[in-house]
């Protein structure tokens, strides 16, 4: 599940995971859990997250590798917010070749810029996420454009890209995603 910060990835990932009865693996959530538990990983990741930068690939890759090795991911899984760099794409290819999984679909949620700023400002008020200040949000948008947007073309070329209009009510967007994914052959 891909999309710029505030596109609704996390919200939709949970519905999709429930629908297909697979775990939703959110790198952002795992990082935040580690930050609040004060683990070594959390302490390291926090520096980058607070600045709106990506956590270095080696750290993120290792974390995802460990997570998809868990038995609940055996039947399949949904990744929310990973891969986010070209190096992570390669790493994921290697990981799933090893576990015997296949990437069936890459969903990208599209939302217009004004809507995103509004949503993030609202989320900041509700959840108080440290990386939802205006300055950091702007940085996260820049980093997404530079490092993650190029991945859209990679998955388009592999013919597994599904572009979903992320505007409108949450349940409308969910329906669009289900309709698109329900016809994708599952590996
Ligand atoms: P959003 O999609 O709104 O930016 P996330 O909750 O997905 O928020 O991620 C929050 C932060 O966690 C990111 O800004 C980044 O610092 C870190 N992060 C999450 N996923 C990755 C990843 N795949 N690679 C590097 N950093 C990541």
pLDDT in tens, 84-120: 999 999 999 999 999 999 999 999 999 987 788 778 8
Tell me the per-residue pLDDT of 50-92, one tens digit each, with 9 for 90 and over: 999 999 999 999 999 999 999 999 999 999 999 999 999 999 9
Ligand 1 midpoint to CA 28 (Å)? 5
Provide the pLDDT confidence category of residue 127 given band limits of 50, 70 and 90.
Answer: confident
Pocket of ligand 1 (CB under 6 A): 5-6, 9, 27-28, 31, 48-49, 52-55, 60, 81-82, 84, 88, 131, 140
| Ligand 1 atom closest to Cα of residue 84 | 23
As a whole number of angstroms, the distance between CA 2 and CA 82 comes to 8
Catalytic-role residue among 65, 119, 129, 156: 129
The whole-angstrom separation of Cα 152 and Cα 182 is 21
Closest residue (by CA) to atom 18 of ligand 1? 28
CA distance 160 to 14: 20
Q: What is the pLDDT of residues 2-44, one digit of tens each?
A: 999 889 999 999 999 999 999 999 999 999 999 999 999 999 9
- Separation of alpha carbons 58 and 72, rounded Å: 23
């Amino acid at each position: 599940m891909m999309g710029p910060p505030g596109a609704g990835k996390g919200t939709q990932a949970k519905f999709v995971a429930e629908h297909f009865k697979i775990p939703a693996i959110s790198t952002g959530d795992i990082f935040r859990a580690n930050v609040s538990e004060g683990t070594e990983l959390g302490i390291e990741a926090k520096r980058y997250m607070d600045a709106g930068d990506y956590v270095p690939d080696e750290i993120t890759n290792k974390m995802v590798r460990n997570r998809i090795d868990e038995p609940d991911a055996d039947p399949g899984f949904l990744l929310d917010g990973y891969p986010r760099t070209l190096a992570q794409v390669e790493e994921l290819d290697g990981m799933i070749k090893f576990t015997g999984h296949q990437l069936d679909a890459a969903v990208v949620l599209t939302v217009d810029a004004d809507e995103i700023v509004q949503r993030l400002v609202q989320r900041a008020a509700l959840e108080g996420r440290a990386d939802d200040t205006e300055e950091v949000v702007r940085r996260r948008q820049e980093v997404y454009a530079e490092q993650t947007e190029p991945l859209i073309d990679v998955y388009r070329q592999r013919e597994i890209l599904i572009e979903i209009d992320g505007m409108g009510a949450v349940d409308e967007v969910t329906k669009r995603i289900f309709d698109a994914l329900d016809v994708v052959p599952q590996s």
